[in-house]
Structure 1
């Protein structure tokens, strides 16, 4: 580097440092003047309780346009100026803020402090008040934040509450306050691509709750709100049963149904939100071969790569897991070489484990699903190495209780929920099974569906576009089968070009309207395959692979859950 350039850079650094020191000394001296009541040129008489607060006009005018305008007015020429709409302790705290840039915000004073900062046009004081309010929302109450926003009409508070509602929509939608949302406010939330919901039906359920609160007065707004949903994420049966029957929503349901059933016609179909919300990604429970260190991997769609989200040590052998809201719930498995009845949850936000009520029966290589806020543990192997026929259900009100058992005892099966029913597929009793059972929770009964084309043990199963997909198993099959619940029929699609000794340790997922498979070995035995199904060409497209390892589960999660602090 040129010597003159080096000298100029050093000189600039020295100059900046001198300016910083000068500013600090100046501010320190100014505050000393305030504390010593030196060179005071204005005094405020504040009520509740009556107090005299001295200050310097120049300092306050520089800190706030409110004071600048005040001191340039006739009223501002008085040596003593009365302030009647702000408590004296709050006012004095904000005057000190004008000198120091700091003030103490507490749960007790945050409301009064924010209102006063808004009145005095102290934006730099109002911002930390809003931040404090939103980070202490449990203590300050959401209702209090809503009331404050209505009273002040403060734009920053309105923005922060909106961000909070986006992030905590599931909780917000259960509040009584939600029932009184203006249609424009609810529309704005539903349109958000980052709405923090686990599935699109959560948004539909929230609309239904809001609508039922005032059916007559809200009937005309229903099509507008339903149109904000990502309708193509529902299956056709749901659209016809739940959307088409709503007043004014018939055309919306018809368009979405056609979009799903006729891919070639999509360019001609006008749907406002044809793509899924952009805030969804994959989270896989993964373990490198022989590492004995399970972790959660987050998929980065933009870069087509996987990155570590956190260690998840308690995810032991033969456990089964489901995702609900912001928790991964883990059921049973193997502990000390025996089946376990333990239930744990791992929070995606704080990565903390909790112990929950244990199942009535110890289970390993079983099935677990969630339906209507109820957990179901199905079949598996129990104590004494016996295959199980029993099914138990957990509710917060009644805990674990047995329901109607399976028709056929089985373990290493697959299970999903579709159209408000539970489907259990394949597995084994003493031999590999093709059979499929369907549970109706309303009647507490199991019934057989059409057998699969092939036997599937330790299978991979998911719901995608209103159909059930299944593959894999120790039997070595790479066949992928698709079940149509309307016709009660099975068909085959393109087989997977993967396998390996641990082919059962893999997962399916439905993301961005595409079917994903994660796990198994592809052409490279040292890698774990990741592929996406191209349904128009009936082929699997490879994505970025992982190092050789096992996939125990894979979930579709809102990206905001994984990026929240």
Structure 2
């Protein structure tokens, strides 16, 4: 009979009639559970004491743990004690056995995952892990690593690796990265989907990891270097950077031979010879022309700009942040009034969404994103200079954090090594050369070395472990660009920019520093890229027909339609 029934179900599994039958069946089962009807087992759970009724058949079908329990002699008892799971968590997971859903929160996800592992509820485990990954900023990555070590959950381990591959540039700069074991780092580096701009990014990450404990990691270095797409480097890079590393001489020689001797490639044993499937990066510029706002996209292959979208915006002086494919417009002025407004525009589907407003109206403020949180710093409310700081997360909304040491407006903010740096700006005492650093772990601001000059509305970017700064507004024939070294807490000047390239904003692309200048008399905006080896600026295609642009953001080119 059982075989016949199973065959019938299989034949009907795709029919609407069968679907309707299963829906009615499950609805009745839910009814029995809600009404505690036909209950045949009761669990007595401690911490705190509670009684949880259920149906053996449903639980046994949902979990091997319950199936084995009920087939055991002790499992025949109508009352069963559970001592190693919190009563509230246990009841939530029993409910999960009936409807496949459970209320998971940042506060209970650890207990839920551990209990789901004990009860062998694979679907609940998956739900907990998926929740953790999507809420990693609130839960914290460090806590996720700790949980993975405690539970040895394979699903969590795999999902963390996927997250690390997707967010490799950020992860590789965190302290936790330095403690990755060789096996984990190897799995990440081998991935064709490793989210890096250039192969040098992966090389730099390996070197940071290796230098953290050279004696213990020297033996593993050749294995990790072999995970790089070595044939994507030029011969000079291989000769000067790979060949001198202990144990990597052969790797370098093989890759150089591969590049220089195509006919010999069949005799060369290389692990990876093709490039990764990395997303190429490009720029989007928010451009204003009178009251029209639109986005221009940079076509790197053709070195030209093309329109990507038109934006409906009826206010000005907003600040922007790019987060999860959304361009977020924060604060600004509407009809001469400073606003709290926060709106999000999705780059992929080109739609608007209203987000929770800030606690404080702001214009001339500083905006920066760190670890999934957006910070709105200082600015003006009417004529009042602000020192207040607030940050936004989707789960919490806007919340206040520690105030600036010195209030300011029209400065600039940047993130480096897990901290926020703010530079320059102005207040009631005039333009500033003051620099402050915010540590989110301690929620404190500290003063850093002053810039060499006061800078109003400077353009600032972090690049290769340093901070670069120049002015947007300069009347001089040439203006200075200076670079901050956080290790030495010191500033040094680099090659000046011509006056026609004043008012610049720098962004990293192709592991280089790009600068975007202002409109000149012919309404054309200059673009240049910094040649670090020769300390000079190289002109690129200009941005056309610009009265003003408000931001430049790097995005993944291959995902744009």
Q: Normalising to structure 1: TM-score of the pair?
A: 0.58
Equivalent in the alignment of 1:192:
191
CA contact (8 A) 1:280 1:556 kept: no
State the SS of the aligned residue for 1:280: coil
Cα deviation, residue 223, structure 1: 0.5
Query: C-alpha separation between the residues in 2 aligned to 1:32 and 1:96?
Result: 12
* 2:295–2:307 Cα contact (<8 Å) kept: no
Pairs within 5 Å for 1:238-253: 238-253=237-252
Match of 1:226 in 2: 225
CA separation of 1:255 and 1:381: change in aligned 2, threshold 3 A = farther
**How far is the alpha carbon of 1:137 from its aligned partner?**
2.1
Q: CA deviation at 1:239?
A: 3.1
Q: Does 1:386 align with 2:476?
A: yes
Q: 1:275 to 1:367 in 2, by over 3 A?
A: farther
Question: C-alpha separation between the residues in 1 aligned to 2:372 and 2:308?
Answer: 15
Instruction: Indicate the SS of the match to 2:193.
Output: coil
- Cα separation, partners in 2 of 1:107 and 1:376, compared to 1, 3 Å: closer
Report the counterpart of residue 181 of structure 1 in structure 2: 180
Give the distance between the partners of 1:64 and 1:38, measured in 2 at CA.
21
Secondary structure in 2 matching 1:386? coil
Any conservation in 1 of the 2:477–2:498 contact (CA below 8 Å)?
Answer: yes
Unmatched 5+ stretches in structure 1? 1-11, 317-322, 329-341, 425-456, 474-502, 507-519, 521-549
> Where does residue 100 of structure 2 map in the other structure?
101
Pair 1:75-2:165 in alignment? no
How big is the shift at 1:75?
A: 2.4
1:375 match: 467
Give matches, 1:434-513, under 5 Å.
504-505=542-543
User: Equivalent residue of 1:390, what SS?
Assistant: strand
Whether the 8 Å contact between 2:132 and 2:139 is mirrored in structure 1 is yes
Q: Which residue of 2 aligns with 1:443?
A: none
Structure 1 residues 241 and 554: alpha-carbon distance in aligned structure 2, compared to 1, 3 A threshold: farther
Cα gap change, 1:299 to 1:27, in 2 (>3 Å): farther
| Contact 2:165–2:188 (8 Å) recurs in 1 | yes
Q: CA deviation at 1:52?
A: 2.8
For the structure 1 residues 113 and 460, does the alpha-carbon distance in structure 2 shift closer, same or farther, using more than 3 Å as the test? closer
Q: Which residue of structure 2 lines up, in the alignment, with residue 495 of structure 1?
A: none
Q: Which residue of the partner structure matches residue 295 of structure 2?
A: 295
Residue 261 of structure 1 and its aligned partner are, at CA, apart by 6.0
Q: 1:405 to 1:217 in 2, by over 3 A?
A: closer
Task: Tell me if the contact between 2:63 and 2:120 (Cα under 8 Å) persists in the aligned partners.
Answer: yes
Q: Distance in 2 between matches of 1:32 and 1:79?
A: 21
CA distance 1:307–1:52, change in 2 (3 Å): farther
Q: Residues 300 and 307 of structure 1 are in contact (CA less than 8 Å); yes or no, is this contact kept in structure 2?
A: no
Could you tell me whether the CA contact under 8 Å between 1:379 and 1:387 is conserved in 2?
A: no
Within a 5 Å distance, the mapping from 1:333-344 to structure 2 comes to: none
Q: Deviations over 1:489-518 (max 9, x none)?
A: xxxxxxxxxxxxxx6449xxxxxxxxxxxx
Give 3-state SS (helix, strand or coil) of 1:99's partner: helix
1:543 maps to: none
**Aligned: 1:118 with 2:117:** yes
Do 2:197 and 2:280's aligned partners in 1 also have CA atoms closer than 8 Å?
no
Q: Structure 1 residues 111, 421: closer, same or farther in 2, change over 3 A?
A: closer
When residues 195 and 327 of structure 1 are mapped into structure 2, their CA distance, relative to the original with a 3 A threshold, is: farther
1:106–1:306: structure 2 CA closer, same or farther, 3 Å change rule?
same
Residue 177 of structure 1: how far off its partner (Å) = 3.5
| Matched residue count | 422
For the 8 Å contact 1:379–1:410, the answer to whether it is kept is: no
Task: Give yes or no for contact 1:284–1:553 (8 Å, CA) kept in 2.
Answer: no
Task: Return the alpha-carbon distance in structure 1 between the equivalents of residues 512 and 34 of structure 2.
Answer: 72
For normalisation by structure 2, the TM-score amounts to: 0.59
The answer (yes or no) to whether the contact 2:279–2:557 under 8 Å persists in 1 is yes
SS in structure 1 at match of 2:468: strand
**RMSD of aligned C-alpha atoms?**
5.4
In structure 2, the CA distance between the partners of 1:265 and 1:186, relative to structure 1 (3 Å rule), is same
Deviates more, 1:91-100 or 1:349-358: 349-358
Change (3 A) 1:234 1:459: same
Offset at residue 350 of structure 1 (A): 9.0
8 Å CA contact 1:297–1:310 kept in 2: the answer is no
Mark the CA change 1:393 to 1:38 in structure 2 (over 3 Å): closer, same or farther. Answer: same
Structure 2 vs 1, CA of residues 74 and 190 (structure 1 numbering), >3 Å: closer, same or farther? same
Q: Relative to 1, partners in 2 of residues 1:412 and 1:178: Cα closer, same or farther, differing over 3 Å?
A: closer
Give the C-alpha shift of residue 406 in structure 1: 4.8
Per the alignment, do residues 368 and 248 of structure 1 end up closer, same or farther by CA in structure 2, a change over 3 Å counting?
A: same
Offset at 1:215?
A: 2.2
Distance 1:71 1:559, change over 3 A: farther
Tell me the residue number matched to 2:340.
none
Distance 2:139 2:53 in 1: 32
Task: Give the distance between the partners of 1:34 and 1:161, measured in 2 at CA.
Answer: 36
Preserved contact between residue 284 and residue 552 of structure 1 (Cα < 8 Å): no
Q: Which one has a bigger Cα radius of gyration? A: 1
Q: Tell me, yes or no, if the aligned pair for 2:480 and 2:494 is still in contact at 8 Å.
A: yes
User: Which structure 2 segments of 5+ residues have no match?
Assistant: 1-11, 317-321, 328-363, 377-411, 414-422, 426-432, 434-453, 516-524
Contact 1:378–1:391 (8 Å) recurs in 2: yes
Aligned pairs for 1:206-355 within 5 A: 206-259=205-258, 270-285=269-284, 293-295=293-295, 297=297, 308=308
Partner of 2:204: 205
Distance 2:465 2:535 in 1: 21
Residue aligning to 1:54:
53
1:273/1:20 Cα in 2 relative to 1: closer, same or farther (>3 Å)? closer
